[in-house]
Structure 1
Amino acid sequence: MPLPKSIKIPRYLKNKFFIAAAAFFIWIAFLDKTNLMYNYQLTSEENKLEGQKEFFINEIKSTREEQQELLSSPEKLEKFAREKYYMKKDNEDLFIIAPAPKP
């Protein structure tokens, strides 16, 4: 059996600075507690929460406007109570018609 020829290793793979830099990159990218994937997940979670923050700020503004409307006139307050909480006067009958549930 013939012996295998010796494999020629490139010079840059023998360089101790290249090896140290490659080891550092591998450590930071994959092995560290706060690796690149973890940082990416945190950034995406932060962006999602920022979007939710904007949504809830807008909801708070609309709720405060609705509250001011309701407190400004008794007619609007009565309409709101009848629509949302199905309140009625003593001499009235209330009929609620709901759509059929989906199977």
Structure 2
Amino acid sequence: MKQKIADLLIKYPFLKWITNRFILATLFFILWLLFFDTYAYFDHRTIDKEIKKLEDNRDYYQGEINSDDKNIQKLYRKEEVEKYAREKYYMKRENEDIYIIDSDKEYQTDKTN
């Protein structure tokens, strides 16, 4: 049995390194840190992706808040309030008619040949 092991070690010298107890302990430690520890690499990677997604959402909503603040500042003037009401809610003055033209329907053709 010892002869077979000695022959294998001569034939495959890397087995001598692998069977070293310090190498085995180091490999065990590395595997433990990568997969099983509280601070595992793969857990950190997943958490980092989630943090990146949340930061992107924060940036998007911060931009929306800034845009809304600018619109609110505009609405302090009477002319801007009237313009906003006309554009968004189709309000009108007395004795005034509003025509809404839907350009998508205007240029459609019947293609049922």
The normalised TM-score by structure 2 is: 0.66
User: Which of 61, 72, 80 is the aligned partner of 1:76?
Assistant: 80
Q: Whose RCO is larger (CA < 8 A, sep 6+)? A: 1
Structure 1 spans left out of the alignment, 5+ residues: none
SS in 1 for 2:75: helix
SS in 2 for 1:7: helix
User: Which protein shows a greater Rg?
Assistant: 2
1:28 paired with 2:29, answer no
Percent identity over the alignment is 33
Which portions of structure 1, spanning 4 or more consecutive aligned residues, are displaced by more than 4 angstroms? Answer: 31-34
User: Which of 95, 102, 111 is the aligned partner of 1:98?
Assistant: 102
Q: What are the residue-to-residue correspondences of 1:34-49 with 2, within 5 Å?
A: 35-49=40-54
Give distance in 1, aligned partners of 2:104 and 2:68. Answer: 30
Deviations along 1:46-70, one digit per CA (max 9) or x if unpaired, are 1232132123222212211210111
**1:15 deviation in Å?**
2.2
